[in-house]
Amino acid sequence: MQFLVRRLGFYVVAAWAAVTVNFFIPRAMPGNAVDSMMAKFPNIQPQAEKALEAEFGVGHQGSLLHQYWVYLGNIAHLNLGTSVSLYPDKVTSVLASTVPWTLALVGTATVISFTLGTLLGVIAAWRRGGWLDRALPAFTLLQATPYFFLALLAILFFSVDWHIFPVSGGYTLGLQPGWNLSFIGSAVWHSLLPALTIIATSMAGWMLQMRNVTITTIGEDYVLAAQAKGLSSRRVIFTYAARNAILPNIAGFALAIGFVVAGALVMEIVFSYPGVGFTLLNAVNANDYPLTQGIFLVISFAVLFACMIADVVYVFADPRARTRQAY
């Protein structure tokens, strides 16, 4: 329990750091939201500048400390401001329409990739020197290839040449987003190729780590004892060796989630998928500071949340973590 409490303290600090980084980024950069708004709509009267400054919360607003305080208050009230590039949409409403896409696709793909990779890693260690084990360097080659390059080739072959999957987008244009069968079917259909490319590139990492740790665990005395008892090879591998070998993989999951999100951002850009990554790039290119900040904040909190889940799972999986001090 102490472990979880200490970790919770850590997450509070991490969340504070993310919020603070987010506060300083636009202030350290040249230009502000009003400037880009004025540049975007040349026919705005100069007198409107004051009104816009008030709306976007820039301009002269007292000391930095005061601004920081106001900013924290705004975040606590989920008031993330107004988007410049998608004016007059609120940042929160833009997020509400993009986050579910990313979450559904990336979440599912990550869980599949982790489960499959871990399982194949155990099998590679079990059948060491077998075909799966020898194919592992080929899997890691997929990991060393730039994700977008692989994704572009996948689009070229599967979508452009063979017409198996749609080329880009999140759903067939013309369909109205909603909970009806034709829309959901279309969304699932569009998500298959992106999901497959994410799984293909990220699986090798889990697999390699699981294999290496399992091989190391197989050499432990308690595994030898299990074998000496005459248990079946399968039982020894899965309930003795893999049971403990999975711990570093779970701990690694919390740390790797950031990389997963990174890969997902590039995926959305390549596939023009209507999620947060695609929107983030557009917001950055349009100097849309409020939206950029909002998206960064959401991604940071999503990563922290995923880490927290991994921590809780870890406590259940590793009895030592329940008594040991936090790292």
Partner 1 sequence: MSVAAPLQADARTQQSAAPVWRRLRKSMPLKAKIGAVIFGIFILIAIIGPAVAPYDPSATTTQTQAIAPNIHHLLGTTSTGQDVLSQLLVGMRSTVVLGLMTGVIATTISVLVGVTAGFLGGSADEGLSLFTNVFLVLPALPLLIVVLGYIRTGSLLPVAIVLSALGWPWGARVIRAQTLTLRNRDYVLAARETGERTWRLIIFEILPNEVSLIAANFVSTVLYALLTSVALAFIGLASFSGWTLGTMLYWANSQEAIQLGAWWWYVPPGLSVALLGMSLVLLNFGLDEIGNPRLRDGGRRKIKGARWRASDPTPVIREAL
Comparison of 182 and 272: residue with beta carbon closer to partner 1 = 272
Comparison of 77 and 163: residue with beta carbon closer to partner 1 = 163
* Nearest-approach distance from CB 202 to partner 1, in angstroms: 12
Q: What is the 3-state secondary structure (H, E, C) of 94-153?
A: HHHHHHHHHHHHHHHHHHHHHHHHHHHHHHHHHCCCCHHHHCHHHHHHHHHCCHHHHHHH
Comparison of 73 and 137: residue with beta carbon closer to partner 1 = 137
Comparison of 3 and 147: residue with beta carbon closer to partner 1 = 147
- Cβ distance 203 to 139 under 8 Å? yes
What b/e sequence results for 154-187 when a residue is b if at least 16 CB atoms lie within 10 Å of its CB, and e otherwise? bbeebbeeeeebbeeebbeeeeeeeeeeeeeebb
* Nearest-approach distance from CB 61 to partner 1, in angstroms: 21
Phi, psi at 56, each rounded to 5° = -90, -5
Q: Would you list the DSSP string of 28-97?
A: HSSS-HHHHHHHH-TTS-TTHHHHHHHHHT-S--S-HHHHHHHHHHHHHTT---B-STTTTSBHHHHHHH
Name the token pair of 300.
């940071």
Phi, psi at 31, each rounded to 5° = 80, 165
* Nearest-approach distance from CB 63 to partner 1, in angstroms: 24
* Nearest-approach distance from CB 316 to partner 1, in angstroms: 21
* Nearest-approach distance from CB 33 to partner 1, in angstroms: 13
Give residues in contact with partner 1 (CB under 8 A).
Answer: 10, 13-14, 17-18, 21, 25, 29-30, 125-130, 133, 137, 140-141, 143-149, 152, 155-156, 160, 212, 215-216, 218-219, 224, 227-228, 230, 233, 236-237, 241, 254-255, 258-259, 261-262, 265-266, 269, 280-281, 284-285, 292, 295-296, 299-300, 303-304, 307, 327
Comparison of 170 and 205: residue with beta carbon closer to partner 1 = 205
- Cβ distance 6 to 326 under 8 Å? yes
* Nearest-approach distance from CB 203 to partner 1, in angstroms: 14
Query: Which one, of 75, 99, 109, lies nearest residue 280 by Cα?
Result: 99
Comparison of 23 and 183: residue with beta carbon closer to partner 1 = 23
Name the token pair of 238.
């899965």
- Cβ distance 183 to 171 under 8 Å? yes
* Nearest-approach distance from CB 179 to partner 1, in angstroms: 30
* Nearest-approach distance from CB 47 to partner 1, in angstroms: 29
Comparison of 175 and 304: residue with beta carbon closer to partner 1 = 304
Comparison of 79 and 227: residue with beta carbon closer to partner 1 = 227
